[in-house]
Amino acid sequence: MNCPWCEFSGRPRELHAHLGASHPETVSFEGTGSRRRYSVTCPYCDAGYQQAIKPGLDDPEFLEEYCQEVRLVAFDMLVNHILVEHEEDVGQRQTSEVGTADATTGSTPGSQAHRR
């Protein structure tokens, strides 16, 4: 899967970690007090995703302490969206990382169909 913001390429999990480490600014935090939320925008179609930050609604220091984890949740949503909606843009067919059957042959990576 190709990163939509730079030259990085890797599996979905690797992209997820890369986004958190290299592009944290693409997740924004809005609101104050009990009305805080995070948001992320798809770079391919500009679809915006936002969600309330519920666990720390009453804790003013929650976001400071857990902002990296909240960003990773946002990037999880983004990677899943990109895999489903923008398969042609990511440079990889939509498959899981290990053990997924090939759609054309029905075999999994590393397996061989034996015929007698």
Measuring CA to CA, how many Å separate 102 from each of 2, 10, 85, 97, 105? Answer: 21, 19, 20, 12, 6
Mean pLDDT of the chain: 77
CB atoms within 10 A of CB 34: 13
pLDDT at 70: 93
Q: What's the pLDDT tens digit per position in 8-20?
A: 999 999 999 999 9
Q: What's the pLDDT tens digit per position in 28-75?
A: 998 876 678 999 999 999 999 999 887 656 777 788 888 999 999 999
Q: Is the pLDDT of residue 110 over 60?
A: no
pTM metric for this prediction: 0.71
Sheet holding 48-52, edge to edge: 27-30, 37-41, 48-52
